[in-house]
Amino acid sequence: MRILVLQESDWIERGPHQSHHLLERMAQRGHEVHVVDFEIGWRKQTSADIIAPRKVLTPPPKVIQGSGITVVRPVMVRLPALEYATLVVTHRREIRREIQEFQPDVVLGFGLLNAFVGIRLARRAGIPFLYYLIDELHRLVPQRAFRGLARLVEQSNVRRASAVLSINQALRDYALEMGASPERANILPAGVDLAQYSSAQDGSAVRKRHGLEPEDLVLFFMGWVYPFSGLREVAESLAAGDGREARAKLLVVGKGESWDGLARLATERGVEDRIKMVGFRPYTEMPSFLSAADVCLLPAYKTETMRNIVPIKMYEYLAAGKPVIATRLPGLVKEFGKGHGVVYVDGPSQVVPKAAELARAGVLGQLGQRGRAFVSKNDWEKVTDTFEGYLRGLVDRTEASH
């Protein structure tokens, strides 16, 4: 199959997300994949031209070595007031070009505006469009004044798509609320590479490299550090002395908007010995970092953005046999329930005391084993089989109806 992917995030700089795991595996299986993306982080470039030219890129894979995906980056106007307004025009032109030249069998949408445009162009060309929800997208719009309009766009996408996939049950319920018909709305959960995590190397080398002793209680977070991630509160808790008797320390691997603020807090409070920060590392190194951890964290605020999502890192934490302390978010509770390796707290300030409590009780290993058993059904190859089946089914039904 030829698969055209539309998203409004940076395929190269962000992730690996669900899309990278699935589509790199699809490319490995012989399918052709083109991604039309959006350079969302352009503001952080020290010298950026106002008009960024069209680019066709072949970036190195994030997950599956040897998989080749073509990334097409349309012309972009790098002005805060115009970046999204012009996206509608430039992405429409690019999607039309892809339909004519690449001739996709199916179009897969992850965004708002280019999905809105892409659905209409795909329908005119008789190509099925699969809308994939991994977030409540309109809530991610930074300008609150535009979220109402974004919700209408998202609602239109959900209703007009040939089919809708959601990453968990809570988001499928959301899709139904937005107007998706039940027979067209399915769930495709995140996956884990069980073989990779089961053969993870001993974490002692990572501990030694970052000044962590064997007797330390290592709390671990990986990924993008958003303002609502709750990591600042965890760091403040450590700085205030919480968990000192358990030798609790925080290890963070990632980057993001709040990264520099977290680093300043550690320096200003003189707790660099208890808060270790490592910039993004290749995905292949994550098993070794997880092996170095005792407890993994998802201490996010109970925001509308986080309400129904289940980040892929949750499955990776559990696949590594590590217990997870997470804020009691509805999507997480619905996905993992109780007794499956996830321990819930009401807010990020409770994370360190809870970790120390679990360590004293000697239950961390037991919780980790339960978590790995729970996610063992989510092997990436099985998830990709299901995904491939959905796409083939859409293509076959569309061809049969013509």
Q: What are 294's two structure tokens?
A: 């005792």
22 plus 165 within the same structural domain:
yes
Domain that holds residue 75: 2-191+380-401
Q: Compute the distance between CA of residue 3 and CA of residue 18 in angstroms, rounded to an integer.
A: 16
- 312-328: per-residue pLDDT in tens? 899 999 999 999 999 99
Q: How many domains does the chain have?
A: 2
Q: Judging by DSSP bridges, how do beta strands 163-166 and 275-279 pair with one another?
A: unpaired
274 plus 391 within the same structural domain:
no
Confidence of residue 155 (pLDDT cuts 50, 70, 90): very high
Token pair 């609502």 is found at 228
Answer whether residue 144 shows pLDDT above 80. Answer: no
Measured between its terminal Cα atoms, the distance across the chain in Å is: 18
Give backbone dihedrals phi and psi of 3, rounded to 5 degrees, phi first. -120, 125
Domain with residue 331: its CATH number is 3.40.50.2000
Answer whether residue 150 shows pLDDT above 90. Answer: no
Confidence of residue 200 (pLDDT cuts 50, 70, 90): low
Confidence of residue 112 (pLDDT cuts 50, 70, 90): very high
Q: Judging by DSSP bridges, how do beta strands 76-77 and 51-52 pair with one another?
A: antiparallel
- 96-108: per-residue pLDDT in tens? 999 999 999 999 9
pLDDT of residue 47: 65
104 plus 182 within the same structural domain:
yes
167 plus 79 within the same structural domain:
yes
203 plus 114 within the same structural domain:
no
182 plus 328 within the same structural domain:
no
Neighbouring C-beta atoms of residue 137, cutoff 10 Å: 20
Answer whether residue 251 shows pLDDT above 70. Answer: yes
Mean pLDDT of the chain: 92
Confidence of residue 235 (pLDDT cuts 50, 70, 90): very high
- 51-89: per-residue pLDDT in tens? 889 999 999 998 888 899 999 999 988 887 788 888 899
9 plus 68 within the same structural domain:
yes
Radius of gyration from C-alpha coordinates of the chain = 22
354 plus 390 within the same structural domain:
no
Section 144-155 average pLDDT: 86
158 plus 206 within the same structural domain:
no
User: Are 316 and 291 a contacting pair, CB within 8 Å?
Assistant: no
211 plus 310 within the same structural domain:
yes
148 plus 228 within the same structural domain:
no
Confidence of residue 275 (pLDDT cuts 50, 70, 90): very high
- Three-point CA angle 393, 22, 387, nearest 5°: 20
Answer whether residue 143 shows pLDDT above 90. Answer: no
pLDDT of residue 201: 64
pLDDT of residue 46: 64
pTM: 0.80
Confidence of residue 248 (pLDDT cuts 50, 70, 90): very high
Burial of 196 (0-12, 13-18, 19+ CB in 10 A): middle
Contacts with 233 (C-beta within 8 Å, 6 or more apart), sequence order: 299, 347, 348, 349, 351
SS (H, E, C) the chain: CEEEEECCCCCCCCCCCHHHHHHHHHHHCCCEEEEECCCCCHHHCCCCCCEECCEEECCCCCCCCCCCCEEEECCEECCCCCHHHHHHHHHHHHHHHHHHHCCCCEEEECCCHHHHHHHHHHHHCCCCEEEEECCCHHHHCCCHHHHHHHHHHHHHHHHHCCEEEECCHHHHHHHHHCCCCHHHEEECCCCECHHHHHCCCCCHHHHHHCCCCCCCEEEEEEEECCCCCCHHHHHHHHHCCCCHHHCEEEEEEEECCCHHHHHHHHHHCCCCCCEEEEECCCHHHHHHHHHHCCEEEECCCCCCCCCCCCCHHHHHHHHCCCCEEEECCHHHHHHHCCCCCEEEECCHHHHHHHHHHHHHHCCHHHHHHHHHHHHHHHEHHHHHHHHHHHHHHHHHHHHHHC
Answer whether residue 129 shows pLDDT above 70. Answer: yes
pLDDT of residue 160: 95
Section 37-52 average pLDDT: 80
248 plus 371 within the same structural domain:
yes
- pLDDT above 70 coverage of the chain, percent: 98
Q: Judging by DSSP bridges, how do beta strands 217-224 and 55-57 pair with one another?
A: unpaired
- 354-367: per-residue pLDDT in tens? 999 999 999 999 99
